[in-house]
Chain A
Amino acid sequence: MKGDAKTTVHANPFMPEPARIIRTQMLTKDVKFFQIRLADMEKALAFRYSPGQFIMLSVLGAGEAPFSISSTPSRPGLLEFCIRKAGTVTNALFRFKENDLVGLRGPYGNGFPLEEMLDRDILIVMGGLGAAPLRSVLLYCLDNRDKFRRVILLHGAKNPEEMIFREEFYSLKEREDLECFLTVDSDTTGEWKENIGVVTALFEKCRNINPADTAALVCGPPVMYKFVLKELVKLNIPKDQILMTLERRMKCGVGKCGHCAIDYIYTCLDGPVFTYWDVLHMRELI
């Protein structure tokens, strides 16, 4: 090497920050709940994000993957995730115990448009692991309850054992300022007291909403979108007030690696939250 290379200081957006696993808990047979905090306390307290954003978690030797944040910024300090065992990184994460270190960087993405949701009815529709990103915005709405009007939650799962945050949602049912409806495709436990059927069956419960003033938030498995979107349109909710958060392969989170590109946008920069209007005008979104 000849001559000294110039070394202008560039902030490195790929630099992970060590973070400690505070608590883990199995939610279902393959979904685990993680509470994580940046190891540096000052940085942990200064960490700001908004519901709907995601972070990149890295495990030494296994790699890095994007995860949506399940906790709400209205309860600072700890970050919460629910993670399904699905690939290399998550398999490695499942072996981690409390106090172990992982790498964390972010937050990335646009998050939900909280400003536009103010003073509106909030209709949250989640299916399966779709509860992971939507729990963040649900808890945010509940913590800032006076800023929103009705808050309705429709949550569907295959069976009671696979419903993540089941106990938490049970206790939320006690709240009078939340309309919480749970459903399972089939009851495998024999103890299920809530609705049985697909999540679209729950739309009966919200026929009396004021569609023009409703923000609908949807996340779930790909097959769910088709049916839920149909119902939401039937309710006359404007397409740009139907919000959904999407999953894509991501290797950087900052619009460089290209994997999440759709048309002229990058899911990591311009998403992961899109409106139904976006979906109709950009092919390949869902």
Chain B
Amino acid sequence: MRIVKLKKENLFPFLEVISKEADLWAPVKKYEDKHVFKAVEDFSEIDLDYQRTIIPPRRILLPPKTNMFEATQNTYKEDFSNVSKKIIFGIHACDVNALVIMDRFYNFAYDDPYYTRARENTLILGYSCWPDEHCLCKSTNTHIVTEGYDLFFSKLDTHYLVWIGSSQGDDLIRKQPSLFNEDISDKDIQTYLNWQKEREDAFQAEIDFIDMPDLIELKYNDPLWEELGKACLACGSCTNVCPTCNCYNVYDKPILGKNASKIVRCWDACTLENYSEVAGGENFRENRADRLKLWYTHKLQAYISKYGKPACVGCGRCIVSCPVDINVLTVGKTLSGEKVDAFWKRFNLQVKKEVRK
């Protein structure tokens, strides 16, 4: 690892140089405070002052719909048209850590070529951020990056400190080394340390993930789950916005006029009703409470037992997108016995009142 310095005005010239050979994806404002990752040609569109994108960057690697094959009766032609050289710029620490989790998942047991090929053609250029009231990443220890990035930009007053995390990242710098300089002064170091200290102190949301596996085990039959099930809309928002969700469905899309089909994989969500339904109508998780339990068990218990850390990177997307406040923070806090103010709590109070009448 090496750290170099980049003047702020040199950022766009640098992006100009590196985007000649790859599509540059960066955060762009969609409306009001909502941002998305988008392939940009015009750099003025880039808005680095963003909190979190609506959909996590995994959609760049495996879009909501990916063609797997074009098939006829006796031939299956692989379709890797989604794979191209890409650079994702401006991705925050939590999302970098989420991609590290995805890398491990898609390489486990069997290698998923649709992910792996897209991933090995993608460079990750991280960008520092400042927490808002929903950011939980300090609790998951994913507010900093230790792996999974090629370059990481930390924004200071007049310049960026740029971490070089891989040889491919180094190659990018070498395309025009004159844009960078290596004389990092004591003052720069102090500014960085001060910034880091302030940022550490700026986190507002907090939750103890260490106890989660035990709590979920101990409270497996807790009425909490039924309460959540009553309020849950089964809309699938939490899974679609989660940077570590990976479930998908596969379907055949016939090509009209030809005796052929496209075989398409599309995102699925374990919170949707037909998720565990098998042919013949048997549904192993008909109950919303069971499906929510699966989601939280998987993220906060199963993943910790298997890999030593949660599958939550604390990005806060489920917190901002769930219409009824069922999210890692409220569920985690309730499990630890804390009182929370959430829509589903108030909703259940209403339900109980009505029952009493």
Contacts and interface: CB of A to CB of B under 8 A. Distances in A.
Given A2-B20, A14-B68, A251-B249, A60 B261 contact: yes
A255 interface: yes
Contact of B302 (A65, A256, A264): A264
A64 B71 CA distance: 12
Given A2-B20, A284-B284, A248 B112 contact: no
**What interface size band does chain A fall in?**
35 or more
A89 B252 CA distance: 11
Interface stretch (B77-85, B92-100, B130-138, B341-349): B77-85
Contacts of A13: 110-113
Interface in B255-281: 259-261, 263, 265, 268, 270, 275-280
A84 interface: yes
A248 B284 contact: yes
Contact of A259 (B110, B268, B298): B268
| Chain A facing B: main interface SS | loop
A5 B250 contact: no
A63 B252 contact: yes
Contact of A252 (B85, B220, B250, B277): B250
Contacts of B275: 249, 259
A256 B284 CA distance: 19
Contact of B297 (A247, A254, A263): A263
B129 to A, nearest CB: 28
A3 interface: yes
B85 A5 contact: yes
A135 B95 CA distance: 48
B113 A258 contact: no
A60 B276 contact: no
Interface stretch (B115-123, B175-183, B228-236, B332-340): B115-123
A62 interface: yes
Interface of A: 1-8, 10-16, 18, 39, 58, 60-65, 84, 86-90, 101, 103, 222, 247-249, 251-252, 254-259, 261, 263-264, 269, 283-284
Interface of B: 19-23, 68-69, 71-76, 78, 80, 83-85, 106, 108-114, 116-117, 120-121, 220, 246-252, 254, 259-261, 263, 265, 268, 270, 275-280, 282, 284-285, 290, 294, 297-298, 301-303, 305-306
Q: 7 smallest A-B Cβ distances: which pairs?
A: A87-B279, A258-B247, A264-B302, A10-B113, A86-B279, A86-B280, A254-B110
Given A12-B113, A257-B247, 18 more contacts: A1-B84, A1-B85, A2-B20, A5-B80, A5-B83, A10-B116, A13-B112, A14-B69, A87-B278, A248-B276, A249-B284, A251-B250, A254-B110, A255-B108, A259-B275, A264-B302, A264-B303, A269-B109
